[in-house]
Amino acid sequence: MTYQFKNIGLITKSDDSRVLTTLTAITRHLDSCKKNIYLHRSAKEFSLNKNYNTVSHQQLAEHCDLIICIGGDGTLLATARTFANHRIPILGINLGRLGFLVDISPNEISERLDEIFAGQFIKDERYLFDVQIIRNQQTISNHVALNDVVIHKWNIARMIELETYINGQFLNRQHADGLIVSTPTGSTAYALSSGGPILHPSLNAILLSPICPHTLSNRPIVVDAECCIEIYLKGREPNAKVTLDGQSSQDLFINDTIKITQKPEKVVILHPKNHDYFDILRAKLHWSEHPRK
């Protein structure tokens, strides 16, 4: 697919004083490139003193052929979920620490945007989860996740009881603090701190990582991404929640089912032409560092 980036949508992290400087630099450069700018309403508070189109998410989806999100990985996660059905490429400008998903720093905006508008970029397609919460055989809510779906205890220091099925086949019944079901994108997030492996983003796989399981033989397992994962909350007390991408959550009741499948649409993330996933891993995880004397 050939991308002609003419209409650019801008989404920013909220409540961050660094946004204004970066947003001003981006809009100035986009103006010089004769691009049409659509500013999401979340950025209206930054008062750019220019008459840009201030629009809703739906209007961004209707008008834009590129979304630039300014913030961190969390900002991009939220953006990806919002535009999951539209396949609009997303570009991340990193305001904080080095991100796995947002990898353009504010001091190289002009150079990188020029390269991307000239077609010099890496197109990275990531799959997402479709998530259904089922209660009494009725779907009570639907969600999308790019990183992970976490079923976890929340109000008391007591393990929860879960049954997991893969494509209708029983996998296990476990007592644990919870279970992380992760995409390869999310394998470097919560799942990593729970002892799970790092999955390369190009893999079509799902990672299931228990959180502090009572039985120490319960280990992370990787299955094909086209599998249907069904998790049933068992036990006596409904002291559990489901959290998606660490950003939204919902209370669970006993016998609720969390059904997780691969979403047909993928999110398209653009990276600079020099993007190196392993270099980011080394930097984020401090690999190959020399010990201090």
Active site residues: 73
* Separation of alpha carbons 162 and 180, rounded Å: 12
Beta strands in 72-159 (DSSP E): 90-94, 121-135, 138-145, 148-153
Identify whether the C-beta of residue 95 lies closer than 8 Å to the C-beta of residue 22.
yes
Alpha-carbon span 41 to 82, nearest angstrom: 14
What span, in angstroms and rounded, lies between the C-alpha atoms of 208 and 183?
9
Least Cα distance to 144 among 263, 50, 31, 267 occurs for 263
Residues 218/196, Cβ–Cβ less than 8 Å: no
